[in-house]
């Protein structure tokens, strides 16, 4: 059974009684989550449980039906547009696709947020860009175009861009999707090392159990619109919850069914509605 395990005073993000729906489909039904400062926290669960939606709610792109989302003591959805803009500057984001600007070089992609949000001279921007690219091991690739990068390299450039403004936290949206085993290993260790070296707070949404559990301090498992359990990777590894065991073990049979909810096949075949 889920219980809060994070000291409230040490939480950078506090989510309380969060409700959110897409049309008639309820995504969150009373979710409570604490993201501790300085740690790597993973949000995991089967596909369709709202992991990416949660990041959008934290970033203010979506508004909850009910409940609150606080980041560093600020209620995200009560901020003015200017206030939200300032808060987002302190939040790095690694998008699932990387989302690099295809017409800019690696160097200019990383420099973009610095040029957009600061008045730093180009000499200082150059120093910062080279430092961020060095941190992800790609200083030598600064003149390449995104089309010349492998998938793993593109994610690392996107990570360098995400930390360009020295944010207090970085959110990762399925960073391991589509990566080969070597790139996946490099990325996972990079997330861990950057978090500790730069004293960041990292929030990672993923369904890659092995890689995510290997670098996370804390994991929340979502299912059915709620947090069904939270704890360290070791604690979840010995969970009594059938749903948690099914997800963490990648089991085909369990509480999460193969079929989406529907009438019986016979009923569908015989009904006029089924003929549409």
DSSP for 218-270, please give it. EEEEEETTEEEEEE-HHHHHT---HHHHHHHHT-SSSSS-SSPS---HHHHHH
Q: What is the CATH number of domain 8-90+167-275?
A: 3.40.50.300
At 252 the pLDDT is: 52
Domains of the chain, by residue range, sit at 8-90+167-275
Q: What 8-state DSSP symbol labels residue 72? A: T
Give the model confidence (pLDDT) of 172-222 as tens digits: 998 887 778 888 888 888 899 999 988 999 999 987 888 888 999 999 999
d(CA 234, CA 219): 10
Contact 242, 252 (CB under 8 A): no
d(CA 188, CA 177): 12
pLDDT of 250 over the 50 cut? yes
pLDDT of 264 over the 80 cut? no
Name which residue leads in pLDDT, 196 or 240. 196
pLDDT of 113 over the 80 cut? yes
At 75 the pLDDT is: 96
At 182 the pLDDT is: 81
Poorest-pLDDT segment among 118-127, 189-198, 242-251 = 242-251
Give the model confidence (pLDDT) of 124-149 as tens digits: 999 999 999 999 999 999 999 999 99
- pTM over the 0.85 mark: no
What are the structure tokens assigned to 126, written together?
A: 């150059």
């Amino acid at each position: 059974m889920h219980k809060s395990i994070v000291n409230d005073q040490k939480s950078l993000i506090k989510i309380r009684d969060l409700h959110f729906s897409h049309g008639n489909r309820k995504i969150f039904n009373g979710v409570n989550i604490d993201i501790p400062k300085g740690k790597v926290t993973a949000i995991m669960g089967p596909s369709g449980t709202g992991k990416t939606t949660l990041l959008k709610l934290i970033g203010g792109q979506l508004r909850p039906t009910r409940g609150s989302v606080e980041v560093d003591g600020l209620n995200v959805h009560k901020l003015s547009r200017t206030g939200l803009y300032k808060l987002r500057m302190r939040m790095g984001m690694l998008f699932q696709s990387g989302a690099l600007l295809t017409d800019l070089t690696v160097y200019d992609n990383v420099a973009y947020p610095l040029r957009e949000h600061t008045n730093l001279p180009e000499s200082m921007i150059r120093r910062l860009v080279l430092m961020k690219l060095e941190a992800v091991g790609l200083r030598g690739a600064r003149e390449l175009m995104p089309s010349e990068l492998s998938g793993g390299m593109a994610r690392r450039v996107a990570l360098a861009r995400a930390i360009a403004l020295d944010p207090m936290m970085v959110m990762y949206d399925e960073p391991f999707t589509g990566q080969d085993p070597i790139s996946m290993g490099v990325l996972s260790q990079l997330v861990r090392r950057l978090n500790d070296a730069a004293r960041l707070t990292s929030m990672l949404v993923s369904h890659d159990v092995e890689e995510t559990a290997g670098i996370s301090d804390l994991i929340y498992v979502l299912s059915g619109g709620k947090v069904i359990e939270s704890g360290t990777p070791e604690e979840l590894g010995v969970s009594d919850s059938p749903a948690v065991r099914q997800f963490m073990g990648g089991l085909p049979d369990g509480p999460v069914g193969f079929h989406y909810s529907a009438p019986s096949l016979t009923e569908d075949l015989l009904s006029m509605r089924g003929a549409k």
